[in-house]
Amino acid sequence: MSSAPICCDAEAHASQDVFRTHLLRGAEVFLDREDLRETLRAFVADSDKSVLLVDGEPYSGRSYTYTFIRHLSQHEGFRPARVLLGPTMTATKVVRRLAAFVADPRAGVVPPVPTDLDDPLPALDEAVHWVVLQATGADDLFWFVLDDCDRLDPGSDVWDLIGQLALALYEHAPVRRAQAPRLVLLGYGEAMRQLPYELRHSLCRDRARTAGPDDVRAFFDRYVRERPPPSVAALAAEEREAALAGLVDVAVEEVLAAADGTDGTGTAVSGGGGGGGSYMRRLGTAVEGAVRVYRALH
């Protein structure tokens, strides 16, 4: 009987607007981000938009955006190619990783990627255009996702690469517009290096914020009413509503306590608090745990 909820979830998922989905695969949850959902809807629909920039305070869920992009890719027919950035990342390393995504190993073509010891700007520009050209001609539609842009060193040559890559995408788009790759920059604030002026009409922006108690309650309000346990569904309307409200209250209390690193009474638990990564990650993990417990009631 345990497979029935999953089947029902799959049927419900297939009929949903994929941009409004909160329960992704299995028990994977994507909380809130209502503005992002509509920004992504517009970004997907408008082939003249080539770059999406996601800003926000540290630990607000900027990288969490990638979870939803992966979900969309399964329904909107594109392939995300993600590169994690950091203080030691160089432009050459980024190009190599992007080249690995787009290169066809069967073709035996070697990308013109410069070495770390000899990395002149013209050679890097050639490699960038090669990557974009390969992506544009591929069977897959690529989205290049550069994550953790805010972790780059201010003097990193990756900033120049980002500008070159964004401009190359812009220049290739009119040739094969429907197949042109897109660029997503996570953690890219407005105070960071400005992208080329030519791109001013090709940009979409979103600002992440940390989900809170209201977002958690909204999720469980929707979730338990769409999937009431059999014992509750059989109750009279007034009793059913009271029982569902009680389930929501318990779920919200337990999730917030787990995300804060307490046991629900305010007492700290071992491994709680800052030991489990960012607050958004702990919150998402706690919601997913509650969903699994709730499914067991069925």
DSSP 143-205: EEEEE-GGGS-TT-THHHHHHHHHHHHHHHTTTSGGG--EEEEET--TTSPPPPGGGTTSEEE
pLDDT at 271: 39
pLDDT at 111: 60
Nearest partner of 49 among 183, 190, 159, judged by Cα: 183
Determine the average pLDDT of the residues in 102-111: 65
Determine the average pLDDT of the residues in 7-20: 60
pLDDT at 180: 86
pLDDT at 42: 93
Tokens matching residue 244: 């569902």
Determine the average pLDDT of the residues in 170-179: 74
pLDDT at 160: 93
- Average pLDDT of every residue of the chain: 83
Q: What's the rounded Cα separation, in Å, for the pair 113 and 235?
A: 66
Question: Residue 59 — very low, low, confident or very high, per pLDDT cuts 50/70/90?
Answer: confident
Question: Residue 174 — very low, low, confident or very high, per pLDDT cuts 50/70/90?
Answer: low
28 pLDDT exceeds 70? Answer: yes
230 pLDDT exceeds 80? Answer: yes
Q: What's the rounded Cα separation, in Å, for the pair 211 and 221?
A: 15
Lowest mean pLDDT segment, chosen from 158-167, 168-177, 285-294: 168-177
170 pLDDT exceeds 80? Answer: yes
Determine the average pLDDT of the residues in 193-215: 91
